[in-house]
A and B are shown apart, each in its own frame.
Chain A
Amino acid sequence: IAGITQAPTSQILAAGRRMTLRCTQDMRHNAMYWYRQDLGLGLRLIHYSNTAGTTGKGEVPDGYSVSRANTDDFPLTLASAVPSQTSVYFCASTQRADSDTQYFGPGTRLTVL
């Protein structure tokens, strides 16, 4: 099935634990993004990757890390989760960084207690 998949769908996590959110796309898109969405705020960019092997910091990168070992996968890691990282996380991709449209995965709802 073409598109973007994210795992897990939802997760409850104890503060201080390490967590990796997975994102995989099969559209051979070069650029991938991680956003968080909080009530009353717009989507905020955490990290991005314009092509495999490169990554960059977005608006709210602190406490998060990413890697882009290949075109398809773009995992997001929380090294030591804190309650303020409770949010809905969306992965997105686009053919190139300057392309028209970003396509979104279904999201991961993360609660940090």
Chain B
Amino acid sequence: GQNIDQPTEMTATEGAIVQINCTYQTSGFNGLFWYQQHAGEAPTFLSYNVLDGLEEKGRFSSFLSRSKGYSYLLLKELQMKDSASYLCAVKDSNYQLIWGAGTKLIIKP
């Protein structure tokens, strides 16, 4: 079966750095996505990785290792507005997105 695993909840301090991990087992791979979802709102796109390595976009970076079936999202200089759920998703061989359950990130002052 297809499976995406990520931690259910993480807590971090304002101004710090946090790394959210995602491991996956899917039938085929056509890219890995990270989305941010604030409570009661729709998911919004953060990053896309299809090749191994690190993609940096401002305070957010995403890393992919296809051989290990592993990705992480790195958030630097945490702000209170970063409190949200972070969703990992993999596009499979049929170009459908398989979603993890999401990681709820709590930022404390």
Contacts and interface: CB of A to CB of B under 8 A. Distances in A.
Interface of A: 40-45, 48, 58, 90, 97-98, 100-107
Interface string B22-63: 000000001101000000011111001000000000000000
Given A48-B96, A58-B96, A43 B87 contact: yes
A42 B41 contact: no
Contacts, number: 42
Contacts of B48: 100-101
Greatest chain B CB density within 10 A among A41, A42, A44, A45 is at: A42
Instruction: Name A's interface SS.
Output: loop
Interface size grouping (class) on chain B: 20 to 34
Given A90-B42, A100-B31, A105-B42, A42 B87 contact: yes
A109 to B, nearest CB: 9
Interface of B: 4, 30-31, 33, 41-45, 48, 87, 89, 95-102
B40 to A, nearest CB: 8
A42 B30 contact: no
B45 A101 contact: yes
B101 A41 contact: yes
B50 to A, nearest CB: 8
A98 B95 CA distance: 6
Contacts of B98: 42
B96 A44 contact: no
Contacts of B4: 42
A90 B43 contact: yes
Contacts of A40: 101
A42 B99 contact: yes
Contacts of B96: 45, 48, 58
B87 A106 contact: no
A104 B44 contact: yes
Contacts of A102: 33, 45, 97
